[in-house]
A and B are shown apart, each in its own frame.
Chain A
Amino acid sequence: MSAVTHRAELEALEVELLIEGVRRQYGFDLRNHSRPLLLRRLRRHLREERLDTFSALQGRVLHDPEALEGLLRALACPPDTLFSDPAFFQAFRTRVVPMLRTYPSIRVWHAGCSSGEDTYALAILLMEEGLWGRCRLYASDASEGLLADARNGVLRLPGEEDARNYREAGGQRALTDYYTRDGDWAVLHPTLRESIFFTQHNLATDASFNEFQVILCRDTLLAYNRSLASRAHERLYESLVRFGFLGLGRKESVARTPYARAYEELEGTGRVFRRTG
């Protein structure tokens, strides 16, 4: 066996032990996370912590809850920008909003809101379409740290590209109408922040907490492997009313989940599915 192969096998063993340690000590179960993604983030975290081996990281994490917090933060995807996927919001505006207009009240759940960029983009869209008055927007994430960021409503200052994305998404005003500049940061207006219900919820472990007419869960399930993603889809399915809308990421689908037959894709929307069964 070559030295490199030996090192690779040792690393694989150390990763297993780290995952097992985190699970038994803190109850965070990373076993069913997407393994290639997990490996990449763990390796980057290791470099940033200037540690040589996962065994060393394991020692630190087991003895120091703050090191665990750092690890979990490193596993989260860094924030996107407002309207980072304009095509989705554009399709939502033209295809879903007209149907939502016929509803007397609308409950919306953004599952896996991370630090809130897409949540705020959605809130802006619903306001511009005159639906905000009858909407209740819930946004959840498994990480308390990210939720705290989302609640703060302070984002990196949008640049020209963000303004362009906003217009491409069908934005009707100026993006600057929605925030106050504070140096390199944008503080979103309180009307936006205060009417979103941010709540801690882990798609991997927590039960459904309400019924919704619209659920967004975009690129969140990339972090899970197939079996865990299927379980998360069970949560989403249970939480969506019949004929409700499910918005997934541009390269996600219900096709490989047990609920493939329960949804119809809205044509030309990228990835908005309607629950029909």
Chain B
Amino acid sequence: MSLLGLLVVGAPQGASAEVEALLASLPPRLPVPVLLAVHRGPQELLAGSLARRCPLPVLEPDDKDELVAGRVYLAPAGYHLLVDRSGVCLSREPAEHGQRPAMDPLFESAADAYGPAVAGLLFSGHEDGWAGLSNLSSRGGRVAVMGEGDPVEGVERVPLKDVKDWLVRLSYVPRMKVQP
């Protein structure tokens, strides 16, 4: 089991209330950065409303920004949000599944850059995100679909109220003595 390095979250347009609830339930001292792709229109101001109840800062990154643990990076309107080991990479490639930002590009790049150190959460309700999620999972990342209900396509389902425990389980590392 490798250490968690990154949490990626994808959600369709209708799910912003659930995303807000998820962000509100994040631990205030999350040891990893969170990358978030939500389907959105060009004019939609999203960061403000998502940040309202979130204990972590929510920001729309510029291209090539570094990733800092404990911050939530929201995909800006009109760009795909990608990630590599040095930080944020934005892309103006065409829409995928009719969406830009889309979830698949984020999940795919996270799998490439972080492999098994990624945790991925998907709010269902759109065709986007599934390919990326299965890509993450096949590379050893931990993935789940948000919400109540039966498992979908073999992916674990996590109710919103349990997501905190799910995250804690992922980021739990036995304490060890560290020599400076």
Contacts and interface: CB of A to CB of B under 8 A. Distances in A.
B49 interface: no
Given A4-B139, A35-B84, A222-B90, A251 B62 contact: yes
A41 B82 CA distance: 13
Contact of A256 (B65, B93, B113, B138): B65
B140 interface: yes
Given A36-B84, A36-B113, A37-B82, A4 B138 contact: yes
Most B-side CB within 10 Å, residue of A2, A34, A40, A256: A40
Given A2-B140, A225-B86, A40 B93 contact: yes
B64 interface: yes
Given A4-B139, A8-B139, A36 B64 contact: no
A49 to B, nearest CB: 18
Interface string B110-143: 0011010000000000000000000000111000
A40 B91 contact: yes
Interface in A1-59: 2, 4-5, 8, 34-37, 39-41
A251 B105 contact: no
A151 B138 CA distance: 46
Contact of B112 (A5, A39, A221, A226): A39
A36 B61 CA distance: 16
Contacts, number: 74
A32 to B, nearest CB: 12
A38 to B, nearest CB: 10
A40 B78 contact: no
A80 B115 CA distance: 33
A203 to B, nearest CB: 15
B108 A40 contact: yes
A222 B84 contact: no
Contacts of B108: 40
Which of B63, B91, B93, B109 has the most CB atoms of chain A within a 10 A radius of its CB? B63
B12 interface: no
Interface residues of A, number: 27
Interface hub of B64, B79, B90, B113 (most chain A Cβ within 10 A):
B64
A219 B92 contact: yes
A78 B100 CA distance: 14
Contact of A5 (B83, B86, B115): B115
B94 interface: yes
Contacts of A35: 84, 89
A251 B76 contact: yes
Nearest to B82: A36
Interface in B54-71: 60-65
A78 B91 CA distance: 12
A226 B65 CA distance: 9
Contact of B89 (A4, A80, A222, A256): A222
Contact of B62 (A36, A77, A253): A253
A68 B17 CA distance: 47
Interface string A131-144: 00000000000000
A5 B89 CA distance: 23
B140 A5 contact: yes
Interface of A: 2, 4-5, 8, 34-37, 39-41, 77-78, 80, 219, 221-222, 225-226, 229, 249-253, 255-256
Given A34-B89, A40-B108, 11 more contacts: A4-B138, A34-B84, A37-B82, A37-B91, A37-B93, A40-B82, A41-B93, A249-B63, A250-B76, A251-B62, A251-B63
The 5 closest A-B pairs by CB, nearest first: A36-B82, A36-B109, A4-B138, A253-B62, A34-B89
25 contacts: A4-B138, A4-B140, A8-B115, A34-B82, A34-B91, A35-B89, A36-B83, A36-B84, A36-B112, A37-B93, A40-B91, A40-B108, A40-B109, A78-B93, A219-B92, A221-B63, A222-B90, A225-B64, A225-B86, A229-B64, A249-B63, A249-B92, A251-B90, A253-B62, A253-B63
